[in-house]
Amino acid sequence: MTDLTPDEVRTQLAAIGLTPVDQDDLDEITHRINAVNEAVLALEHPELDAQEPMSVFWLSEEGAE
Amino acid sequence: MSVRDQTADQLVLRPATELSALLTRGELSPVELTKAFIARAKRYAHLNAYISLDEGGALRQAQVAEDEIKRGEIRGPLHGLPMAVKDQFDAKGLRTTAGSVIVDYVADQDATVVARLREAGAVILGKLNLSEFALGGNVTHPHGIPHNPWDVTRQAGQSSSGSGIAVAASLCAAALGGDTAGSIRGPAAWCGITGLRPTWGRVSRHGAWPMAWFMDTIGPMTKTVADAAMVFEAIAGHDPKDEHTSTRPLTPFEAREGLGGLRVGVVRESIDNGMTTPDVVAGVEAALEVLRSLGATVLDETLPLFEHGGLISNGLADSEAAQIHRKFLRERPEDYDFASRRRLMAASLVPAAAYVKLSRFRMLMRRDVMAALDRVDLLVTPAQAEGAPKIATATGLTSKEAVMRQFFGLRAHRGPFNLSGVPAMVLPIGFTPADVEAGHAGLPMSLQVIGRPFAENAVFQLGHAYQQATDWHERRPPLD
Protein backbone atom coordinates (compact mmCIF):
# COMPACT_ATOMS: atom_id res chain seq x y z
CA MET A 1 0.00 0.00 0.00
CA THR A 2 1.04 3.61 -0.43
CA ASP A 3 1.14 6.08 2.43
CA LEU A 4 -0.84 9.27 2.20
CA THR A 5 1.36 12.35 1.84
CA PRO A 6 0.86 15.41 4.06
CA ASP A 7 -0.62 17.28 1.10
CA GLU A 8 -3.12 14.49 0.50
CA VAL A 9 -4.03 14.46 4.16
CA ARG A 10 -4.51 18.23 4.13
CA THR A 11 -6.82 17.90 1.13
CA GLN A 12 -8.85 15.11 2.74
CA LEU A 13 -9.21 17.10 5.93
CA ALA A 14 -10.29 20.18 4.00
CA ALA A 15 -12.95 18.10 2.27
CA ILE A 16 -14.61 17.48 5.64
CA GLY A 17 -14.10 20.98 6.93
CA LEU A 18 -11.05 20.40 9.11
CA THR A 19 -7.84 22.41 9.11
CA PRO A 20 -4.63 21.46 10.94
CA VAL A 21 -3.35 24.29 13.10
CA ASP A 22 0.27 24.03 11.92
CA GLN A 23 2.76 21.85 10.05
CA ASP A 24 3.49 19.75 13.15
CA ASP A 25 -0.20 18.98 13.31
CA LEU A 26 -0.30 17.93 9.71
CA ASP A 27 2.79 15.74 10.01
CA GLU A 28 1.51 13.89 13.06
CA ILE A 29 -1.98 13.47 11.62
CA THR A 30 -0.34 11.97 8.55
CA HIS A 31 1.68 9.52 10.65
CA ARG A 32 -1.39 8.56 12.63
CA ILE A 33 -3.71 7.87 9.69
CA ASN A 34 -1.00 6.01 7.77
CA ALA A 35 -0.36 3.83 10.83
CA VAL A 36 -4.04 2.94 11.19
CA ASN A 37 -4.46 2.23 7.50
CA GLU A 38 -1.40 0.00 7.36
CA ALA A 39 -2.25 -1.88 10.55
CA VAL A 40 -5.87 -2.45 9.57
CA LEU A 41 -4.90 -3.62 6.10
CA ALA A 42 -2.52 -6.17 7.65
CA LEU A 43 -5.22 -7.66 9.88
CA GLU A 44 -6.29 -11.04 8.57
CA HIS A 45 -8.35 -13.88 10.00
CA PRO A 46 -9.68 -17.00 8.29
CA GLU A 47 -13.15 -16.48 9.77
CA LEU A 48 -13.40 -12.77 9.12
CA ASP A 49 -15.92 -13.14 6.31
CA ALA A 50 -18.31 -14.98 8.63
CA GLN A 51 -18.47 -12.08 11.06
CA GLU A 52 -21.21 -9.47 11.07
CA PRO A 53 -20.06 -6.12 12.51
CA MET A 54 -22.74 -5.94 15.18
CA SER A 55 -22.55 -3.97 18.39
CA VAL A 56 -22.38 -5.97 21.59
CA PHE A 57 -25.70 -5.85 23.38
CA TRP A 58 -26.19 -8.23 26.25
CA LEU A 59 -29.61 -6.98 27.09
CA SER A 60 -31.54 -9.76 25.37
CA GLU A 61 -29.27 -12.54 26.57
CA GLU A 62 -30.35 -14.76 29.44
CA GLY A 63 -28.53 -15.99 32.48
CA ALA A 64 -25.02 -14.96 31.60
CA GLU A 65 -23.88 -15.06 35.23
CA MET B 1 -5.02 2.61 68.17
CA SER B 2 -8.48 1.28 67.48
CA VAL B 3 -10.56 2.80 64.72
CA ARG B 4 -12.96 4.21 67.31
CA ASP B 5 -10.14 6.19 68.91
CA GLN B 6 -9.08 7.83 65.67
CA THR B 7 -9.94 11.35 64.61
CA ALA B 8 -11.57 12.20 61.30
CA ASP B 9 -8.15 13.37 60.07
CA GLN B 10 -6.78 9.89 60.65
CA LEU B 11 -9.87 8.04 59.48
CA VAL B 12 -9.71 9.51 55.96
CA LEU B 13 -7.01 6.93 55.22
CA ARG B 14 -9.41 4.03 55.91
CA PRO B 15 -11.50 2.19 53.29
CA ALA B 16 -14.98 3.54 52.53
CA THR B 17 -16.68 0.45 53.95
CA GLU B 18 -15.07 1.07 57.33
CA LEU B 19 -16.10 4.72 57.25
CA SER B 20 -19.60 3.67 56.22
CA ALA B 21 -19.93 1.41 59.23
CA LEU B 22 -18.89 4.21 61.58
CA LEU B 23 -21.13 6.77 59.89
CA THR B 24 -24.28 4.69 59.84
CA ARG B 25 -23.78 3.66 63.49
CA GLY B 26 -23.53 7.32 64.40
CA GLU B 27 -19.94 6.91 65.62
CA LEU B 28 -18.50 9.31 63.05
CA SER B 29 -19.84 12.71 62.08
CA PRO B 30 -20.42 13.22 58.34
CA VAL B 31 -19.66 16.90 58.86
CA GLU B 32 -16.33 16.23 60.59
CA LEU B 33 -15.37 13.64 57.98
CA THR B 34 -16.29 15.98 55.13
CA LYS B 35 -14.22 18.75 56.73
CA ALA B 36 -11.28 16.37 57.00
CA PHE B 37 -11.44 15.38 53.33
CA ILE B 38 -11.82 19.02 52.25
CA ALA B 39 -8.80 20.02 54.32
CA ARG B 40 -6.80 17.21 52.80
CA ALA B 41 -7.90 18.05 49.26
CA LYS B 42 -6.68 21.62 49.84
CA ARG B 43 -3.45 20.50 51.46
CA TYR B 44 -2.58 18.29 48.49
CA ALA B 45 -4.03 20.55 45.82
CA HIS B 46 -0.71 20.39 43.95
CA LEU B 47 -1.64 16.88 42.84
CA ASN B 48 -4.40 18.50 40.73
CA ALA B 49 -6.97 15.84 41.56
CA TYR B 50 -9.91 18.25 41.68
CA ILE B 51 -11.20 20.67 39.08
CA SER B 52 -14.00 21.91 41.36
CA LEU B 53 -14.10 21.46 45.12
CA ASP B 54 -17.59 22.31 46.38
CA GLU B 55 -16.74 23.11 49.99
CA GLY B 56 -19.98 24.88 50.90
CA GLY B 57 -22.25 22.46 49.11
CA ALA B 58 -20.50 19.44 50.56
CA LEU B 59 -20.79 20.74 54.11
CA ARG B 60 -24.49 21.42 53.62
CA GLN B 61 -25.02 17.90 52.29
CA ALA B 62 -23.03 16.49 55.19
CA GLN B 63 -25.16 18.39 57.69
CA VAL B 64 -28.32 16.98 56.12
CA ALA B 65 -26.86 13.47 56.29
CA GLU B 66 -25.83 13.99 59.90
CA ASP B 67 -29.32 15.13 60.86
CA GLU B 68 -30.94 12.20 59.04
CA ILE B 69 -28.63 9.66 60.63
CA LYS B 70 -29.29 11.14 64.08
CA ARG B 71 -33.00 10.65 63.43
CA GLY B 72 -32.34 7.04 62.46
CA GLU B 73 -33.24 7.65 58.83
CA ILE B 74 -30.40 5.65 57.32
CA ARG B 75 -30.48 5.69 53.53
CA GLY B 76 -27.87 2.98 53.07
CA PRO B 77 -24.13 2.37 53.26
CA LEU B 78 -23.17 5.54 51.39
CA HIS B 79 -25.07 7.79 53.79
CA GLY B 80 -22.80 10.63 54.83
CA LEU B 81 -19.84 9.28 52.85
CA PRO B 82 -17.78 12.04 51.14
CA MET B 83 -17.28 11.09 47.49
CA ALA B 84 -16.16 12.83 44.32
CA VAL B 85 -16.93 12.27 40.65
CA LYS B 86 -15.03 12.64 37.42
CA ASP B 87 -15.79 15.94 35.72
CA GLN B 88 -17.18 13.97 32.80
CA PHE B 89 -20.48 13.64 34.68
CA ASP B 90 -22.96 16.42 35.32
CA ALA B 91 -23.77 17.35 38.92
CA LYS B 92 -26.55 19.86 39.39
CA GLY B 93 -25.25 23.26 40.41
CA LEU B 94 -21.62 22.36 39.74
CA ARG B 95 -19.39 23.29 36.84
CA THR B 96 -18.78 20.72 34.08
CA THR B 97 -15.66 21.08 31.92
CA ALA B 98 -15.04 17.51 30.74
CA GLY B 99 -11.37 18.38 31.30
CA SER B 100 -11.43 20.90 28.47
CA VAL B 101 -11.56 24.64 27.89
CA ILE B 102 -14.17 24.13 25.19
CA VAL B 103 -16.93 23.00 27.53
CA ASP B 104 -17.66 25.01 30.67
CA TYR B 105 -21.16 25.24 32.11
CA VAL B 106 -23.03 24.80 35.37
CA ALA B 107 -25.16 21.67 35.09
CA ASP B 108 -28.89 22.04 35.66
CA GLN B 109 -29.39 18.38 36.43
CA ASP B 110 -27.48 15.41 37.76
CA ALA B 111 -26.11 12.60 35.66
CA THR B 112 -27.95 9.45 36.70
CA VAL B 113 -24.90 8.12 38.55
CA VAL B 114 -24.62 11.34 40.53
CA ALA B 115 -28.35 11.34 41.27
CA ARG B 116 -28.05 7.79 42.57
CA LEU B 117 -25.16 8.71 44.83
CA ARG B 118 -27.18 11.60 46.21
CA GLU B 119 -30.25 9.38 46.73
CA ALA B 120 -28.01 6.98 48.64
CA GLY B 121 -26.97 9.86 50.90
CA ALA B 122 -23.42 10.35 49.65
CA VAL B 123 -21.84 13.77 50.05
CA ILE B 124 -20.50 15.07 46.72
CA LEU B 125 -17.24 16.86 47.45
CA GLY B 126 -16.63 18.02 43.90
CA LYS B 127 -15.54 17.21 40.38
CA LEU B 128 -12.31 15.45 39.54
CA ASN B 129 -9.70 16.13 36.89
CA LEU B 130 -9.52 14.05 33.72
CA SER B 131 -7.91 13.91 30.34
CA GLU B 132 -9.47 16.29 27.85
CA PHE B 133 -12.96 14.98 27.05
CA ALA B 134 -11.93 11.64 28.60
CA LEU B 135 -9.91 10.89 25.48
CA GLY B 136 -6.63 10.07 27.16
CA GLY B 137 -3.34 10.79 25.46
CA ASN B 138 -3.41 14.56 25.78
CA VAL B 139 -0.19 16.29 26.77
CA THR B 140 -1.39 19.66 28.06
CA HIS B 141 -3.89 19.80 30.91
CA PRO B 142 -5.97 22.99 31.18
CA HIS B 143 -7.00 22.20 34.75
CA GLY B 144 -3.54 21.24 35.96
CA ILE B 145 -1.23 18.32 35.28
CA PRO B 146 -2.47 15.31 37.26
CA HIS B 147 0.38 14.03 39.43
CA ASN B 148 0.72 10.43 40.57
CA PRO B 149 0.77 10.47 44.39
CA TRP B 150 3.36 7.66 44.46
CA ASP B 151 5.79 9.80 42.44
CA VAL B 152 4.67 13.26 41.44
CA THR B 153 6.90 13.23 38.36
CA ARG B 154 4.85 10.39 36.92
CA GLN B 155 1.52 10.10 35.18
CA ALA B 156 -1.57 9.17 37.16
CA GLY B 157 -3.05 7.33 34.19
CA GLN B 158 -5.71 8.42 31.74
CA SER B 159 -8.42 9.40 31.56
CA SER B 160 -9.85 9.19 35.11
CA SER B 161 -6.63 10.60 36.51
CA GLY B 162 -8.21 12.81 39.16
CA SER B 163 -10.30 9.90 40.45
CA GLY B 164 -7.21 7.72 40.75
CA ILE B 165 -5.26 10.44 42.57
CA ALA B 166 -8.12 11.42 44.88
CA VAL B 167 -8.68 7.87 46.10
CA ALA B 168 -5.00 6.94 46.39
CA ALA B 169 -4.19 10.17 48.26
CA SER B 170 -7.36 9.93 50.39
CA LEU B 171 -8.83 13.19 49.10
CA CYS B 172 -12.27 11.52 49.06
CA ALA B 173 -13.62 8.26 50.43
CA ALA B 174 -14.44 6.87 46.99
CA ALA B 175 -14.82 8.17 43.46
CA LEU B 176 -16.52 7.52 40.16
CA GLY B 177 -14.56 7.20 36.95
CA GLY B 178 -15.39 6.46 33.35
CA ASP B 179 -13.88 3.65 31.27
CA THR B 180 -14.11 3.49 27.50
CA ALA B 181 -10.85 1.78 26.64
CA GLY B 182 -9.15 1.56 30.03
CA SER B 183 -9.84 4.93 31.62
CA ILE B 184 -10.80 3.51 35.01
CA ARG B 185 -8.42 0.57 34.95
CA GLY B 186 -5.34 2.52 33.86
CA PRO B 187 -5.44 5.23 36.54
CA ALA B 188 -6.47 2.69 39.17
CA ALA B 189 -3.51 0.51 38.24
CA TRP B 190 -0.95 3.30 38.19
CA CYS B 191 -2.28 4.87 41.39
CA GLY B 192 -2.46 1.55 43.27
CA ILE B 193 -6.20 1.41 43.93
CA THR B 194 -9.17 -0.75 42.95
CA GLY B 195 -11.20 0.16 39.87
CA LEU B 196 -14.13 -1.58 38.22
CA ARG B 197 -15.22 -1.28 34.61
CA PRO B 198 -18.74 -2.75 34.80
CA THR B 199 -20.47 -4.76 32.09
CA TRP B 200 -21.47 -2.42 29.27
CA GLY B 201 -25.15 -1.64 29.88
CA ARG B 202 -25.04 -2.18 33.64
CA VAL B 203 -24.58 1.47 34.68
CA SER B 204 -26.41 4.41 33.10
CA ARG B 205 -24.38 6.84 31.00
CA HIS B 206 -27.07 9.52 31.08
CA GLY B 207 -25.55 12.92 31.84
CA ALA B 208 -21.99 11.82 31.04
CA TRP B 209 -19.94 13.31 28.22
CA PRO B 210 -19.47 10.50 25.70
CA MET B 211 -16.08 9.36 24.50
CA ALA B 212 -17.20 6.40 22.34
CA TRP B 213 -20.79 5.29 22.66
CA PHE B 214 -20.32 1.57 22.19
CA MET B 215 -17.72 1.18 24.93
CA ASP B 216 -18.41 3.94 27.50
CA THR B 217 -18.97 2.72 31.04
CA ILE B 218 -19.00 4.34 34.49
CA GLY B 219 -17.70 2.60 37.58
CA PRO B 220 -16.26 2.90 41.08
CA MET B 221 -12.65 3.73 41.92
CA THR B 222 -11.95 2.85 45.53
CA LYS B 223 -9.42 1.70 48.09
CA THR B 224 -10.75 -1.86 48.28
CA VAL B 225 -12.86 -4.36 46.39
CA ALA B 226 -15.50 -4.25 49.14
CA ASP B 227 -15.66 -0.47 48.65
CA ALA B 228 -16.10 -0.96 44.90
CA ALA B 229 -18.95 -3.42 45.41
CA MET B 230 -20.66 -1.00 47.80
CA VAL B 231 -20.49 1.91 45.36
CA PHE B 232 -21.34 -0.24 42.33
CA GLU B 233 -24.56 -1.42 43.94
CA ALA B 234 -25.63 2.19 44.46
CA ILE B 235 -25.13 3.25 40.83
CA ALA B 236 -25.96 0.12 38.82
CA GLY B 237 -29.31 -0.82 37.34
CA HIS B 238 -31.75 0.12 34.64
CA ASP B 239 -32.29 3.78 33.84
CA PRO B 240 -35.07 4.86 31.47
CA LYS B 241 -32.84 7.80 30.48
CA ASP B 242 -30.26 5.39 29.01
CA GLU B 243 -32.08 2.96 26.75
CA HIS B 244 -29.10 0.64 26.66
CA THR B 245 -29.10 -0.13 30.36
CA SER B 246 -30.07 -3.64 31.34
CA THR B 247 -33.27 -4.46 33.23
CA ARG B 248 -31.57 -7.51 34.72
CA PRO B 249 -31.91 -7.44 38.53
CA LEU B 250 -28.85 -6.72 40.62
CA THR B 251 -27.74 -9.26 43.20
CA PRO B 252 -25.92 -7.73 46.18
CA PHE B 253 -22.36 -8.97 46.64
CA GLU B 254 -21.91 -11.33 49.55
CA ALA B 255 -18.34 -12.34 50.24
CA ARG B 256 -17.65 -16.00 50.85
CA GLU B 257 -14.60 -17.66 52.32
CA GLY B 258 -11.73 -18.46 49.95
CA LEU B 259 -11.80 -19.32 46.27
CA GLY B 260 -12.40 -23.08 46.37
CA GLY B 261 -13.79 -24.45 43.11
CA LEU B 262 -12.99 -21.31 41.13
CA ARG B 263 -11.21 -21.76 37.80
CA VAL B 264 -9.00 -18.81 36.90
CA GLY B 265 -7.49 -18.54 33.42
CA VAL B 266 -4.26 -16.61 32.92
CA VAL B 267 -4.15 -15.01 29.49
CA ARG B 268 -0.65 -16.06 28.49
CA GLU B 269 -0.40 -13.51 25.66
CA SER B 270 -0.56 -10.78 28.30
CA ILE B 271 2.52 -12.14 30.05
CA ASP B 272 4.69 -14.08 27.59
CA ASN B 273 5.06 -11.25 25.15
CA GLY B 274 8.39 -9.54 25.76
CA MET B 275 6.61 -6.24 26.47
CA THR B 276 5.32 -6.78 29.99
CA THR B 277 8.27 -6.01 32.25
CA PRO B 278 9.82 -8.79 34.36
CA ASP B 279 8.83 -6.90 37.53
CA VAL B 280 5.17 -6.92 36.52
CA VAL B 281 5.34 -10.56 35.43
CA ALA B 282 6.85 -11.49 38.81
CA GLY B 283 4.14 -9.53 40.59
CA VAL B 284 1.42 -11.35 38.69
CA GLU B 285 3.02 -14.74 39.34
CA ALA B 286 3.12 -13.95 43.06
CA ALA B 287 -0.56 -12.94 42.96
CA LEU B 288 -1.42 -16.20 41.22
CA GLU B 289 0.27 -18.07 44.06
CA VAL B 290 -2.02 -16.28 46.50
CA LEU B 291 -5.05 -17.28 44.43
CA ARG B 292 -3.89 -20.91 44.45
CA SER B 293 -3.41 -20.78 48.21
CA LEU B 294 -7.02 -19.61 48.51
CA GLY B 295 -8.24 -22.67 46.63
CA ALA B 296 -8.49 -21.41 43.05
CA THR B 297 -7.40 -23.59 40.17
CA VAL B 298 -5.15 -21.50 37.96
CA LEU B 299 -5.04 -22.52 34.31
CA ASP B 300 -3.39 -21.14 31.20
CA GLU B 301 -5.74 -19.50 28.74
CA THR B 302 -5.23 -18.01 25.33
CA LEU B 303 -6.68 -15.08 23.39
CA PRO B 304 -5.09 -15.35 19.94
CA LEU B 305 -6.14 -11.83 18.95
CA PHE B 306 -4.86 -10.26 22.17
CA GLU B 307 -2.09 -8.33 20.44
CA HIS B 308 -4.64 -6.58 18.23
CA GLY B 309 -6.73 -5.29 21.13
CA GLY B 310 -5.09 -1.87 21.08
CA LEU B 311 -5.57 -1.37 17.35
CA ILE B 312 -9.18 -2.53 17.32
CA SER B 313 -10.10 -0.63 20.47
CA ASN B 314 -8.37 2.63 19.50
CA GLY B 315 -9.40 2.44 15.86
CA LEU B 316 -13.07 2.08 16.70
CA ALA B 317 -13.23 4.35 19.73
CA ASP B 318 -11.33 7.18 18.05
CA SER B 319 -13.59 6.98 15.00
CA GLU B 320 -16.63 7.45 17.21
CA ALA B 321 -14.93 10.22 19.18
CA ALA B 322 -14.12 12.05 15.96
CA GLN B 323 -17.82 12.14 15.14
CA ILE B 324 -18.70 13.33 18.64
CA HIS B 325 -16.20 16.18 18.28
CA ARG B 326 -16.74 17.08 14.62
CA LYS B 327 -18.36 20.46 15.35
CA PHE B 328 -15.76 21.59 17.90
CA LEU B 329 -12.96 20.34 15.63
CA ARG B 330 -14.19 22.53 12.80
CA GLU B 331 -14.97 25.60 14.86
CA ARG B 332 -12.41 25.59 17.68
CA PRO B 333 -9.47 23.37 16.72
CA GLU B 334 -6.94 25.59 18.49
CA ASP B 335 -8.75 25.13 21.81
CA TYR B 336 -7.95 21.41 21.92
CA ASP B 337 -4.78 20.00 23.37
CA PHE B 338 -2.51 19.46 20.36
CA ALA B 339 -2.33 15.69 20.87
CA SER B 340 -6.11 15.37 21.18
CA ARG B 341 -6.62 17.50 18.07
CA ARG B 342 -4.19 15.48 15.97
CA ARG B 343 -5.69 12.22 17.17
CA LEU B 344 -9.26 13.30 16.43
CA MET B 345 -8.41 14.77 13.04
CA ALA B 346 -6.58 11.59 12.04
CA ALA B 347 -9.51 9.50 13.24
CA SER B 348 -11.81 11.67 11.12
CA LEU B 349 -10.06 10.20 8.08
CA VAL B 350 -10.36 6.50 8.99
CA PRO B 351 -12.05 4.90 5.97
CA ALA B 352 -15.47 3.36 6.48
CA ALA B 353 -14.05 0.07 5.20
CA ALA B 354 -11.47 0.11 7.99
CA TYR B 355 -14.14 0.85 10.62
CA VAL B 356 -16.26 -2.07 9.40
CA LYS B 357 -13.26 -4.40 9.31
CA LEU B 358 -12.32 -3.42 12.85
CA SER B 359 -15.93 -3.97 13.93
CA ARG B 360 -15.79 -7.48 12.52
CA PHE B 361 -12.53 -8.10 14.36
CA ARG B 362 -14.23 -6.88 17.46
CA MET B 363 -16.75 -9.67 17.09
CA LEU B 364 -13.91 -12.18 16.71
CA MET B 365 -12.29 -10.81 19.85
CA ARG B 366 -15.56 -11.05 21.75
CA ARG B 367 -16.07 -14.60 20.52
CA ASP B 368 -12.60 -15.58 21.81
CA VAL B 369 -13.15 -13.88 25.18
CA MET B 370 -16.53 -15.54 25.63
CA ALA B 371 -15.09 -18.94 24.64
CA ALA B 372 -12.33 -18.55 27.23
CA LEU B 373 -14.92 -17.56 29.83
CA ASP B 374 -16.81 -20.76 29.02
CA ARG B 375 -13.71 -22.78 29.93
CA VAL B 376 -12.91 -20.88 33.12
CA ASP B 377 -14.85 -18.71 35.57
CA LEU B 378 -12.59 -15.67 35.39
CA LEU B 379 -9.64 -14.46 33.34
CA VAL B 380 -6.68 -12.54 34.70
CA THR B 381 -3.95 -10.44 33.11
CA PRO B 382 -1.53 -7.80 34.32
CA ALA B 383 -3.36 -4.48 34.33
CA GLN B 384 -0.40 -2.78 32.70
CA ALA B 385 2.92 -3.61 31.08
CA GLU B 386 4.94 -1.48 33.51
CA GLY B 387 4.73 1.05 36.32
CA ALA B 388 3.52 4.58 35.69
CA PRO B 389 5.67 6.44 33.14
CA LYS B 390 7.04 9.96 33.51
CA ILE B 391 4.71 12.84 32.73
CA ALA B 392 4.91 13.45 28.99
CA THR B 393 5.67 16.82 27.41
CA ALA B 394 5.36 15.71 23.77
CA THR B 395 3.62 12.94 21.86
CA GLY B 396 6.84 11.62 20.34
CA LEU B 397 4.87 10.51 17.29
CA THR B 398 7.40 11.46 14.64
CA SER B 399 6.76 8.50 12.35
CA LYS B 400 4.13 5.95 11.39
CA GLU B 401 6.17 3.31 13.20
CA ALA B 402 6.18 5.35 16.41
CA VAL B 403 2.38 5.49 16.30
CA MET B 404 2.20 1.72 15.90
CA ARG B 405 4.59 1.12 18.78
CA GLN B 406 2.71 3.42 21.12
CA PHE B 407 -0.88 2.45 20.42
CA PHE B 408 -0.93 -1.04 18.91
CA GLY B 409 0.59 -4.36 19.89
CA LEU B 410 1.14 -6.25 23.09
CA ARG B 411 1.18 -3.36 25.55
CA ALA B 412 -2.60 -2.98 25.35
CA HIS B 413 -3.76 -5.25 28.16
CA ARG B 414 -7.18 -3.78 28.59
CA GLY B 415 -8.51 -3.42 25.04
CA PRO B 416 -9.80 -7.00 24.51
CA PHE B 417 -12.17 -6.66 27.43
CA ASN B 418 -13.70 -3.26 26.75
CA LEU B 419 -14.20 -4.50 23.20
CA SER B 420 -16.08 -7.50 24.58
CA GLY B 421 -18.30 -5.51 26.94
CA VAL B 422 -17.44 -7.71 29.92
CA PRO B 423 -16.69 -6.54 33.48
CA ALA B 424 -13.03 -6.00 34.30
CA MET B 425 -11.53 -4.87 37.58
CA VAL B 426 -7.98 -3.96 38.57
CA LEU B 427 -6.55 -4.25 42.05
CA PRO B 428 -3.09 -3.63 43.52
CA ILE B 429 -0.73 -6.61 43.82
CA GLY B 430 2.54 -4.97 44.85
CA PHE B 431 5.17 -2.51 43.77
CA THR B 432 8.03 -2.44 41.30
CA PRO B 433 11.43 -2.39 43.01
CA ALA B 434 12.67 1.00 44.16
CA ASP B 435 14.76 2.74 41.53
CA VAL B 436 17.01 5.50 42.86
CA GLU B 437 18.09 6.62 39.39
CA ALA B 438 14.49 6.83 38.24
CA GLY B 439 13.65 8.62 41.48
CA HIS B 440 10.96 6.41 42.96
CA ALA B 441 10.57 4.05 45.88
CA GLY B 442 8.47 1.57 43.93
CA LEU B 443 5.46 2.03 41.68
CA PRO B 444 2.12 0.21 42.00
CA MET B 445 1.49 -2.96 40.01
CA SER B 446 -1.98 -4.38 39.46
CA LEU B 447 -3.90 -7.42 38.36
CA GLN B 448 -6.85 -7.24 35.96
CA VAL B 449 -9.72 -9.67 36.68
CA ILE B 450 -12.26 -10.28 33.92
CA GLY B 451 -15.67 -11.90 34.29
CA ARG B 452 -18.63 -13.00 32.19
CA PRO B 453 -21.25 -10.39 31.31
CA PHE B 454 -23.05 -9.22 34.45
CA ALA B 455 -20.83 -11.40 36.66
CA GLU B 456 -19.40 -8.47 38.63
CA ASN B 457 -19.94 -10.43 41.84
CA ALA B 458 -17.59 -13.19 40.69
CA VAL B 459 -14.97 -10.55 39.92
CA PHE B 460 -15.53 -9.01 43.35
CA GLN B 461 -15.21 -12.42 45.01
CA LEU B 462 -11.76 -13.06 43.60
CA GLY B 463 -10.57 -9.55 44.40
CA HIS B 464 -12.03 -9.51 47.90
CA ALA B 465 -10.54 -12.88 48.80
CA TYR B 466 -7.17 -11.71 47.49
CA GLN B 467 -7.37 -8.54 49.58
CA GLN B 468 -8.32 -10.53 52.67
CA ALA B 469 -5.07 -12.46 52.23
CA THR B 470 -2.78 -9.55 51.34
CA ASP B 471 -2.21 -5.96 52.42
CA TRP B 472 -1.21 -4.18 49.20
CA HIS B 473 -4.51 -2.28 49.29
CA GLU B 474 -3.58 -0.96 52.75
CA ARG B 475 -0.50 0.87 51.47
CA ARG B 476 -0.78 4.64 51.19
CA PRO B 477 1.49 6.96 49.19
CA PRO B 478 4.06 9.01 51.18
CA LEU B 479 2.73 12.48 50.47
CA ASP B 480 4.65 14.59 52.97
Provide the annotated active-site residues of B. 86, 159, 183
**Does residue B340 contact residue B132 with C-beta atoms inside 8 Å?**
yes
Which chain B residues contact residue A58 at CB under 8 A?
Answer: 199-201, 246, 421, 453-454
Burial readout B318-353 (b: 16 or more C-beta within 10 A, e: otherwise)? bbbbbbbbeebbeeebeebbbbbbbbbbbbbbbeee
- Of the candidates B247, B244, B175, the one whose C-alpha atom is nearest the C-alpha of residue B206 is B244
Q: Which residues are CB-contacts of B344 (< 8 A; sequence separation ≥ 6)?
A: B135, B318, B321, B322, B325, B329, B336
List C-alpha distances in Å: B212 to B205, B308, B318, B374.
11, 19, 7, 28
Residue of A nearest to B451 (CA): A65
Nearest CB partner across the interface for A32, out of B343, B361, B458: B343
Mind listing the pLDDT tens digit for each residue in B420-452? 999 999 999 999 999 888 878 899 999 999 999
Average pLDDT (B357-376) is 97
Q: What mean pLDDT is predicted for residues B3-10?
A: 77
Q: What is the mean pLDDT of residues B393-397?
A: 87
Cis, bond preceding B399 (omega within 30 deg of 0): no
Answer for the pair B195, B228: CB distance below 8 angstroms, yes or no. Answer: yes
Smallest Cβ–Cβ distance between A17 and the set B248, B330, B364 belongs to B330
CA of A36 vs chain B CAs: smallest distance (Å): 7
Give the model's pLDDT for residue B4. Answer: 64
Considering chain A, what is the average pLDDT of its residues? Answer: 89
Predicted ipTM beyond 0.90: yes
Q: Which residue of A has its CA nearest to B250?
A: A65
Contacts of B350 in chain A (CB under 8 A): 33, 36
Q: Do A13 and B333 touch (CB under 8 A)?
A: no
- The three-state (H, E, C) secondary structure of chain A, written as one string: CCCCCHHHHHHHHHHCCCCCCCHHHHHHHHHHHHHHHHHHHHCCCCCHHHCCCCCCCCCCCCCCC
B residues 385-424 closer than 8 Å to A (CB): 395, 397-404, 407-408, 420-421
Note the pLDDT of residue B412: 76
Per-residue pLDDT band at A58 (split at 50, 70, 90)? low
Q: Give residue A64's pLDDT.
A: 41
Would you call B455 and A65 a contact, using CB atoms and an 8 Å cutoff?
yes
| Average pLDDT of the segment spanning B374-401 | 93
Any A CB within 8 A of B325 CB? no
Is B455 in contact with A35 (Cβ distance < 8 A)?
Answer: no
DSSP structure class, residue B254: -
Asked if the model's pLDDT at residue B33 lies above 50, the reply is yes
Q: Per-residue confidence at A62, pLDDT binned at 50, 70, 90?
A: very low
Q: What residues of chain B lie within 8 A of the CB of A18, using their CB?
A: 329-330, 333, 345, 348
Q: How far is the C-alpha of B248 from the C-alpha of A35, rounded, in Å? A: 41
Q: What is the mean pLDDT of residues B119-125?
A: 98
CB of B87 closer than 8 Å to CB of B105: no
B453-467 pLDDT, tens digit per residue, is 999 999 999 999 999
**What digits encode the pLDDT tens for the residues B142-161?**
999 999 999 999 999 999 99
Q: Is the CB of B35 inside 8 Å of chain A's CB atoms?
A: no
At residue B5, does pLDDT exceed 80?
A: no
Please tell me the predicted confidence (pLDDT) of residue A59: 58
- What percent of chain A is modeled with pLDDT above 90? 77
Interchain pair A31, B402: CB under 8 A: yes
Contact predicate B431/B442, CB 8 Å: yes
Identify which of A13, A31, A51 has the shortest CB distance to residue B399. Answer: A31
What percent of chain B stands above pLDDT 90? Answer: 91
Q: pLDDT tens digit string along B278-329?
A: 999 999 999 999 999 999 999 999 999 999 999 999 999 999 999 999 999 9
Nearest Cα neighbor of B20 from B165, B280, B229 is: B229
Average confidence score pLDDT of chain B: 95
What was the pLDDT predicted at B2?
Answer: 61
Q: What does pTM read for this prediction?
A: 0.97
Give the pLDDT confidence score for residue A45 in this predicted structure: 97
Size of the A and B interface in Cβ pairs below 8 Å: 140
Judge whether B161 and B149 are in contact, CB under 8 Å. no
Instruction: Assign B207 a pLDDT band (cuts: 50, 70, 90).
Output: very high
For A23-45, what is the mean pLDDT? Answer: 97
Q: Examine the pLDDT at A65 and tell me if it is beyond 60.
A: no
Q: Which strand (E) or helix (H) includes residue B361?
A: helix B352-375
Q: Which residue in the set B338, B349, B398 is minimally distant from A9, CB to CB?
A: B349
Contacts of B92 (CB under 8 A, 6+ apart): B107, B108, B109, B110, B114
Using the predicted structure, report yes or no on whether residue A31 has a pLDDT greater than 50: yes
Band (B98; pLDDT cuts 50, 70, 90):
very high
B200 to A47: CB separation less than 8 angstroms, yes or no: no
Query: Nearest Cβ partner of B201 from A9, A19, A58?
Result: A58
Percent of chain B with pLDDT over 70: 99
pLDDT value at B64 more than 70 = yes
Give the mean model confidence (pLDDT) for residues B23-27: 96
Pairwise CB contact (< 8 Å): B452 & A65? yes
Question: How far is the CA of B254 from the CAs of B25, B86, B193, in angstroms?
Answer: 21, 28, 21
Closest chain B residue by Cα to residue A15: B349
Q: Which of B27-41, B282-296, B402-416 has the lowest mean pLDDT?
A: B402-416
pLDDT tens string B220-255:
999 999 999 999 999 999 999 999 999 999 999 999
Chain B residues whose CB is inside 8 A of the A52 CB are 360, 363
Contact B247 A59 (CB under 8 A): yes
Q: Indicate the pairing of strand B82-86 with strand B123-128.
A: parallel
